[in-house]
Amino acid sequence: MRILAAGDHFVAPDLITRELAAEIGAGHHVEELRLPWPLTPFGRVAEVDEASGDEEAVLTALRGVRVCVTQMAPVTRKVLAGAPDLRLVVVGRGGPVNVNLEAAREHGVQVCNTPGRNAAATAEYTVGLMIAAMRRIPETSAALAAGRWAGEFYQYDNCGPGLDGAAVGLIGCGAVGSRVARALGGLGARVRVYDPYADQRALREVGEPVADLDALLRGSDVVSLHARLTPETRGLLGARELALLPDGAVVVNCARGALLDEDALCDALESGRLAAAGLDVFAVEPPRPDSRLRTAPRLVMTPHLAGANTSVAHNAARIAAAEVGRFLRGEPLAHRVA
């Protein structure tokens, strides 16, 4: 059987190939394709989102291929129509947004994802970004690197707030949010959770469930976003919602950029209502040269790195390879989404 390992510069093709060999042995022909992400930002390709590479290159690589393992390849209607031998696509990420699921069903192609592969990494990064923004670590590091001992940051008015005793509101409490909740609890924070889709008993195990988003915002010193991006959650935090936060609050987003109104965030930072913010994701990636985010005060920004560590790359390849093994053995797929 011919298998395509369509990797990139994070989940590399040879890593996928090694995990496939460990799972299914060497009796199959694995071809490799390297996509440009993350050296080139992902984006929309035809009708799918967050994809890397072009349809023609993927089509060429899929000739005669029955199984494709990828993280970012654009599996569009055109690609599916031009790959008649394809029967399985395993996407090495939590949401297979780079695959046209409707077209996959029409062409008899099964689609799987790899849920949870970066939950721990994203949770760690979220807490780190939260602390970096609250304690103004990037500013003080930059000052010292420039040769200035920034003693003014020890003054009361310049010190950032801490997590011990703070009320931290989490919007969404799935695989990532629940880990963040447990970590924050260990640091002495009072964790409050809003997730209308989660089991309330499970929420009580990690924090204080709050039934209403407005109530969560009014009572939180720090707010961290962990919701999926859907038509209902797009723009979830806008000017009205940010105005509900107490003066001196902190906002962190390692989920999806479009959950947050970036202009409203800049307004709140520039006015001094928010003490700080930390963003790892943006509505447009990378932010445009004229984006207000680039000059907003007390804003820590990183280039969509929360889910990136070496363990995540191995997790994605290993979970994907296990799905390929189930497919070849005729077993039920564990993470089928189409």
- Catalytic residue positions, numbered: 256, 285, 304
Strand, coil or helix: 12: coil
Classify each residue of 121-152 as buried b or exposed e, where b means 16 or more C-beta atoms within 10 Å of its C-beta: bbbbbbbbbbbbbbbbbebbeebeeeeeeeee
Structure tokens at 106: 């029409």
Q: Are 31 and 58 spatial neighbours (Cβ–Cβ below 8 Å)?
A: no
Strand pairing report for 167-171 and 222-225: parallel
Strand pairing report for 2-7 and 67-70: parallel
The single-letter code of the amino acid at 244 is L
Q: Compute CA distances 178 → 92, 122, 193, 233, whole Å.
A: 22, 11, 9, 19
Torsion of CA 293, 239, 235, 175, to 10 degrees: 80
Of 218, 216, 214, the closest CA to residue 245 belongs to: 218
The C-alpha angle with vertex 234 and arms to 228 and 240, in degrees rounded to 5, equals: 120
Structure tokens at 18: 């090694």
- 333 CB neighbour count, 10 Å cutoff: 16
Phi and psi (nearest 5°) for 318? -70, -45
Strand pairing report for 43-45 and 48-51: antiparallel
Of 313, 320, 315, the closest CA to residue 10 belongs to: 313
The single-letter code of the amino acid at 76 is T
